[in-house]
Amino acid sequence: MLRFLTAGESHGQAELAILEGIPVGLSVTEEIIQKDLDKRRGGAGRGGRGLIEKDKVKILSGVRLGKTIGSPIALLVENSDFQNWKVTMSVHPPSEQTSHLREVSNPRPGHADLAGALKYGFSDIRNVIERSSARETIMRVAIGSICRRFLSEFNIQIDSRIIRIGKMEIPDNSQIEEIIIRALKKKDTLGGVIQIIARNVPPGLGSYVHWDRKLDGLIARALMSIPSVKAVEIGDGITNAGKFGSQVHDEIYYDEKYLRKTNHAGGLEGGVTNGEDIVCRVYHKPLSTLGNPFNTINLQTKKSVKAVVERSDICVVPRAGVISEAMIAFVLSDVLLEKFGSDNLNDIKKNYQNYLRRIKI
């Protein structure tokens, strides 16, 4: 069983993660993880933070001589912007702190600001902003990179592509920057849709026996936990809802293995993989920080004011695919370990090959 925890605030000293359950013998290096972190860092629509942070990862434990040793893997990414925060706090009294340090009392509609302040009893929304920030996803990507490395031992591959930004279908990436620049000039933000595909996933992962072990539910939960994601689709779930069953279900054939000519189900039936590609789509809302802020209510005065304007991206979609890939990699690694699990990678691979021989793949 895999589990992970992240810790850290957006402008704190560092972002941290602990991943437990990766078996002994997996090759993992900082360079492997860094490739995915660089994907998250780049892309059109990035705000000013992207110019500051280098997002260099350090492996603190769980790996020796480039191989996992079975103990929890600890990861660290230092926040370069923390130095700016420290300097500003030491120079200015609280009443003169810069915009990203001052006490925040005007919650942004669409963000965790108000709900978080009410939940914990904060008068300063900064306490909510610092942890609810999407900066936390850097550690999910780092963890997902290790899980992706584990899945590659079984030839399972995960990738993603942008389907839509705003209302515009994206056949290729050439239009993305122009669309985002238009939103920037309007002081607005954009959402969009990303498709994630996991290939070479064997049938039989997940379960139909209990609700909390259904793989489609686990995937939906993982993807919905990503900041700004407001809907998750598996296969053609949204369009399937408006069709007849005769137009939707994937007929079964056999040619040395079970196969389908269509994949409307997105590789999952009854909460279990069926051997086809797992296909998911995530729907990102436009980001909540607007250059022309919405009306809101000040927490102290209860009077109508304009929402706070925080440093923010214009559109997260161009760099968010790797976050969804990471979450699916974690979920698939977990269910694969559940089915074929052992403390040693070689033992897991033997169990996996025995299973494939039994189902004749």
Taking only the tens place, the pLDDT of each residue in 226-283 is 999 999 999 999 999 999 999 999 999 999 889 999 999 999 999 999 999 999 999 9
| Mean of pLDDT over the chain | 91
pLDDT over 80 at 48, yes or no: no
Please enumerate, by residue number, every residue annotated as part of a binding site for FMN.
131-133, 270, 285-289, 311
CA 294 to chain centre: 27
| Angle of the 215-224 helix axis to the 317-340 helix axis, nearest 10 | 150
CA 297 to chain centre: 31
- Among 98-102, 142-146, 220-224, the range scoring the smallest mean pLDDT is 98-102
pLDDT over 90 at 294, yes or no: yes
Please enumerate, by residue number, every residue annotated as part of a binding site.
40, 46, 131-133, 270, 285-289, 311
Predicted confidence at residue 95, as pLDDT, reads 47
Question: How far apart (Å, rounded) are the C-alpha atoms in residues 32 and 49?
Answer: 23
- At residue 222's C-alpha, the angle toward residues 221 and 225, to 5°, is 85
Indicate which CATH number applies to the domain containing 18.
Answer: 3.60.150.10
Predicted confidence at residue 81, as pLDDT, reads 77
pLDDT over 90 at 47, yes or no: no
Q: Which residue in 81, 26, 82 sits closest to 59, CA to CA?
A: 26
CA 313 to chain centre: 16
Number of domains in the chain: 1
- Alpha-carbon torsion 87, 288, 192, 14, what sign? positive
Percent of the chain with pLDDT over 70: 93
Taking only the tens place, the pLDDT of each residue in 67-82 is 999 999 999 999 987 7
Please enumerate, by residue number, every residue annotated as part of a binding site for NADP(+).
40, 46
pLDDT mean over 149-155: 98
Taking only the tens place, the pLDDT of each residue in 84-132 is 665 554 444 444 444 455 789 999 999 999 999 999 999 999 999 999 9
Name every residue whose Cβ is closer than 8 Å to that of residue 229 and which is 6 or more positions away in sequence: 223, 282, 283, 284, 285, 324
Predicted confidence at residue 99, as pLDDT, reads 46
pTM (predicted TM-score): 0.92
Instruction: State which residues form the domain around 228.
Output: 3-358
Beta strands in the chain (DSSP E): 3-7, 14-20, 57-61, 63-64, 67-68, 73-78, 157-165, 168-169, 192-199, 229-234, 252-254, 258-260, 268-269, 272-273, 278-284, 295-297, 304-306
Predicted confidence at residue 101, as pLDDT, reads 58
**DSSP class per residue in 104-167:** --SPPTTSSHHHHHHHHT-S-THHHHHHHSGGGHHHHHHHHHHHHHHHHTTT-EEEEEEEEETT
